[in-house]
Structure 1
Amino acid sequence: MQLKLKKAELKTFLDEKVQLYNHPKFIESDPIQIPHQFSKKEDIEIAGFLTATIAWGNRKSIINNAKRMMKLLDHSPFEFVMQHQDSDLEALQPFVHRTFNGDDFMQFIKSLKHIYAEHDGLEAVFAKYAQKTSLQQSIHAFKTLFFEQPHLERTKKHVSDPLKNSAAKRINMYLRWMVRNDNAGVDFGIWKSLSPSQLSCPLDVHSGNVARKLGLLKRKQNDAKALAELDKNLRQLDPNDPVKYDFALFGLGVFEGF
């Protein structure tokens, strides 16, 4: 069942939902609460990246396991990443969230150290490879650099690649957190070298189903082609901040069963 709205009506409807859900109350039930525990830029971006990496499945278990991750990193993620010895990594071995296990967690810490030590940090990598209206090339380049060092083959599946037709939902969500300054205290907006106009909507089952009902998306699979279609339509509603509509699509799907 598709809801038929004219473009102006659709924009008004979705803008109202953004106002409703892009609100500090949203943090209480969302994984974004984990990076909100920190104030230092590098702590926020590492906590956010690790949390977004395990953000699939039950939201309560995502939040609980992300809290466990932070505890294992002594609540100082950047310091742990940069100063850890191999022996410190053994404490991460028992960690598991669905198919992300202790081996993956240890690899991520080593790869993050490599990104900061050799490539000037997370923001610098995404900014270096950004295109004018897209960060999908940046995500691909980031994955390549992240796994430059010796690594377990199994761990690569935990970083999506849009150039292999993935919608890369989790990493697009992470980029929204870092780049978008919503003036509402939800998204951080700490990556000043990138613009919200370059972001893509985190496309998952909920946002995809709602987008189809609203006529924003025709493609049936939630893949990179669907993301490009959704991005194009959201940019017509707001070219400067297209992914603010993630709050509307997510809220309608999860909280309103739209």
Structure 2
Amino acid sequence: MNKQDLKDFLDAKAEYYEQPDFIETDPIVIPHQFTKKEDIEISAFLVATIAWGNRKSIVKNGFRMNQLLQESPFDFVMNHQETDLKDLLNFKHRTFNGEDFIFFIKSLQNIYKSHGGLQKVFENKNPMPNGIHQFKTLFFSIPHLRRTQKHVSDPLKNSAAKRINMFLRWMVRPADKGVDFGLWQGLEPAQLSCPLDVHSGNVARKLGVLKRKQNDLKAVQELDHALRNLDPIDPVKYDFALFGLGVFEKF
């Protein structure tokens, strides 16, 4: 398959899968329950954090997070009392437990009260791997359990940072297709990296746009380079194609 054929194929698949019909079983359905910007941001960040493992379980536990935050994530983050946090202790998704959840709420409160919110923290950070690293440093700048650090990836430690890259896609890419939110105007889609996971990685290798075997930062950078050659303005739209081909078509 030559470059133009590959581009045509992936463009068509991206168009096909970037549709609201496909988000009912995707974690992005969780922040779509809200209309307020800060509610969307916080819900999206939290569900992206637990987005590994069985997709049904992720979505189920994402809705559970919303319930525990009294269906108003921003208000809960900003105005919760210590007694409100006790209800979070029983939450669990794989290795993310109630203590982790409580810390995330406290750290998010710090970010919104003292640092202008999630958007402010991520914007004007380039290249994005450094931005994610700086975000993690800030996120864990308040007292925390050491174990909780594993729930925020660091590209500068060679992580693919799939979940944060997915969160950033949701926040930055345009909302015109009814899937992503396009809330953050200070970042461009061209700055984003593909949320590389086992599905998108396997498809990318079969299509010849990724050769590296490990799903790490170097693989993300290799894939980014290939996808930007196909569309320098919005390379991460191909996440829909790669993921859809892997999950729905078993490509």
1:44 lines up with 2:44 in the alignment? no
Instruction: Write the distance in 2 (CA, Å) between the matches of 1:124 and 1:195.
Output: 14
Instruction: Write the distance in 2 (CA, Å) between the matches of 1:11 and 1:178.
Output: 25
Instruction: Write the distance in 2 (CA, Å) between the matches of 1:115 and 1:137.
Output: 18
Pairing 1:119-138 to 2, within 5 Å after superposition = 119-128=115-124, 130-131=125-126, 134-138=127-131
- Residue aligning to 1:90: 86
Q: 1:255 aligns with which of 237, 248, 251?
A: 248
Whichever residue aligns with residue 27 of structure 2, its letter is P
Whichever residue aligns with residue 88 of structure 2, its letter is L
- Residue aligning to 1:9: 5
Give the secondary structure class of the aligned counterpart of 1:28.
Answer: coil
Structure 1 residue 156: deviation in Å?
A: 0.4
The one-character-per-residue Cα deviations of 1:103-162 (angstroms, maximum 9, x if unpaired) are: 00000000000111111000000004x11xx41111101100000001110100000000
Q: 1:168 aligns with which of 161, 167, 171?
A: 161
Give the secondary structure class of the aligned counterpart of 1:93.
Answer: helix
1:55 lines up with 2:51 in the alignment? yes
Whichever residue aligns with residue 100 of structure 1, its letter is F
The one-character-per-residue Cα deviations of 1:207-252 (angstroms, maximum 9, x if unpaired) are: 0000000011000000000000000000000010000000000000
Instruction: Write the distance in 2 (CA, Å) between the matches of 1:253 and 1:206.
Output: 5
- Residue aligning to 2:31: 35
Whichever residue aligns with residue 89 of structure 2, its letter is Q
- Residue aligning to 1:222: 215
Q: 1:184 aligns with which of 170, 177, 181?
A: 177
- RMSD, aligned CA: 0.7
Q: 2:97 aligns with which of 72, 96, 101?
A: 101
- Residue aligning to 1:69: 65
Q: TM-score, normalised by structure 1?
A: 0.96
Whichever residue aligns with residue 94 of structure 1, its letter is N
Q: Which stretch shows the higher mean deviation, 79-88 or 200-209?
A: 79-88
Whichever residue aligns with residue 136 of structure 1, its letter is P
Whichever residue aligns with residue 232 of structure 2, its letter is P
Structure 1 residue 64: deviation in Å?
A: 0.4
Give the secondary structure class of the aligned counterpart of 1:211.
Answer: helix
- 4+ residue runs over 2 A deviation: none
Q: TM-score, normalised by structure 2?
A: 0.99
The one-character-per-residue Cα deviations of 1:148-206 (angstroms, maximum 9, x if unpaired) are: 00111010000000000000000100000000005111000001111101000000000
Taking every aligned residue pair, what percent have the same amino acid on both sides? Answer: 69
Instruction: Write the distance in 2 (CA, Å) between the matches of 1:218 and 1:186.
Output: 29
Instruction: Write the distance in 1 (CA, Å) between the matches of 2:194 and 2:121.
Output: 20
Instruction: Write the distance in 2 (CA, Å) between the matches of 1:85 and 1:225.
Output: 43
Whichever residue aligns with residue 116 of structure 1, its letter is Y
Structure 1 residue 29: deviation in Å?
A: 1.3
Whichever residue aligns with residue 193 of structure 2, its letter is S
Q: Which stretch shows the higher mean deviation, 84-93 or 227-236?
A: 84-93
Segments of 5+ residues of structure 1 without an aligned counterpart are none
Instruction: Write the distance in 2 (CA, Å) between the matches of 1:255 and 1:41.
Output: 31
Whichever residue aligns with residue 103 of structure 1, its letter is E
- Residue aligning to 1:156: 149
Give the secondary structure class of the aligned counterpart of 1:65.
Answer: helix
**Count of aligned residue pairs for this structure pair:** 251
Pairing 1:106-121 to 2, within 5 Å after superposition = 106-121=102-117
Instruction: Write the distance in 1 (CA, Å) between the matches of 2:93 and 2:186.
Output: 32
Whichever residue aligns with residue 48 of structure 2, its letter is A
